[in-house]
Structure 1
Amino acid sequence: MHELQALGKQLVELPAKQLVDIPLSEKTRDAIVAARSFKHGAIRRQLQYIGSLMPKEDEDAIRIMLYKLQQPHKDEVRAFHQLEQWRDQLLLGDQDLLNELAIKFENFDRQHIRQLIRNAKKEQEQNKPPKSARLLFKYLTEMQGK
């Protein structure tokens, strides 16, 4: 039952636009929508109620739709972390990565990247805001997006 309550809690936390795509009975959907307006103890009781309604629902179909709705976000986060890692490695002077990125991206401007790296290192030494590091991240993001 706790597993079904946890599933119900995930559904309560979904944005309304995404909840529409989940295959639910009207009674369960109404209970989920109502739970969003409750506070503390009432939300706990409502989640228990939703958990009691969940056995009547197609749990597998709900989990599949939740996975499909959450997967694009996970992919974005994974790509974001990859870009952060590239930026950090470039700032540490990883020439192999620089060469790898030059091969991977057609319009990769080595000179511009090296200038951003130099400026970022100077800013770091002088305890200035990391403007160039942000610009480097933005440039890598643009390259990834193309």
Structure 2
Amino acid sequence: MDSEDYSEFDEHPRRPSKSSQKRDSEALQSVGEALIALPRERLTEFDLPPDLLEAVTVAQTLSTHRGAYKRQRKYIGKLLRDIDATPISEKLASLNQQSAEAIHAQHLIERWRDRLLAGDDHDINALMAEHPDADRQKLRQLVRDGRKERQEAAAPRAARLLFRYLRELQQQTQE
């Protein structure tokens, strides 16, 4: 017997395995879950078909601990299979990237604030080197008030004002 390759004569093309179909379905369901987690105002940015938008809106009202939520999630996955979900998942990824960048920027501002309140004038000079257009007098006043509040264990009003000022400086630098 010859072991010849008869694949070229195969009339039935191979379909994706059941496991790969399940993985694809679960991936689309996770895209659906991400859509459910978004606020309704953000959903309008996605240009979703009306039936998908309605399904996501209904899922947002359901309790996550019930079977109805699970069925709705699977239904959203089915609706996503019927359309091209690539633009939706790309937009979700860009939103996640933007929020990660915003969180990183906020943490950087918090570190600067804490460094200024705990440190000395060298830290103010370091900040002025990064942001030469900053108002040194206003910055010194905010830092002085913040340090005084920390010593007196008062409410951190000046620390919040310092944080806002540092955020304004960062936004000016980005523009």
TM range (shorter): 0.7 to 0.9
2:43 pairs with 1:19: yes
Asked if the contact 1:8–1:51 (Cα under 8 Å) also holds between the matched residues in 2, the reply is yes
- Report the alpha carbon displacement of residue 105 of structure 1 after superposing the two structures with TM: 2.3
Paired position in structure 2 for 1:7: 31
2:34 pairs with 1:35: no
Report the residue type matching 2:73 in the other structure: L
Separation in structure 1 between the aligned mates of residue 82 and residue 120 of structure 2, nearest angstrom: 56
Higher relative contact order (Cα pairs below 8 Å, separated by 6+ residues): 1
Separation in structure 2 between the aligned mates of residue 91 and residue 145 of structure 1, nearest angstrom: 21
Asked if the contact 1:21–1:65 (Cα under 8 Å) also holds between the matched residues in 2, the reply is no
Q: TM-score when scaled to structure 1?
A: 0.80
Residue 87 of structure 2 is aligned with which of 58, 61, 86? 61
- Report the alpha carbon displacement of residue 97 of structure 1 after superposing the two structures with TM: 4.2
Structure 1 residues without counterparts, runs of 5 or longer: none
- Aligned-residue identity in percent: 36
Report the residue type matching 2:76 in the other structure: I
2:82 pairs with 1:82: no
CA shift in 2, pair 1:114/1:2, >3 Å: same
Paired position in structure 1 for 2:73: 47
Report the residue type matching 1:20 in the other structure: T
After superposing the two structures, state which structure 1 stretch, 30-39 or 15-24, moved more: 15-24
Structure 2 residues without counterparts, runs of 5 or longer: 1-24
Asked if the contact 2:124–2:140 (Cα under 8 Å) also holds between the matched residues in 1, the reply is no
Alignment RMSD (CA, Å): 2.4
Report the residue type matching 2:63 in the other structure: K
Bigger Rg, structure 1 or 2: 2
Q: TM-score when scaled to structure 2?
A: 0.69
Report the residue type matching 1:29 in the other structure: L
Report the residue type matching 2:125 in the other structure: N
Paired position in structure 1 for 2:3: none
The superposition leaves residues 34-81 of structure 1 with CA deviations (integer Å, 9 ceiling, x where unpaired) of 222333412222112212332223232111121234444333322222
After superposing the two structures, state which structure 1 stretch, 53-62 or 67-76, moved more: 67-76
Count residues with an aligned counterpart: 146
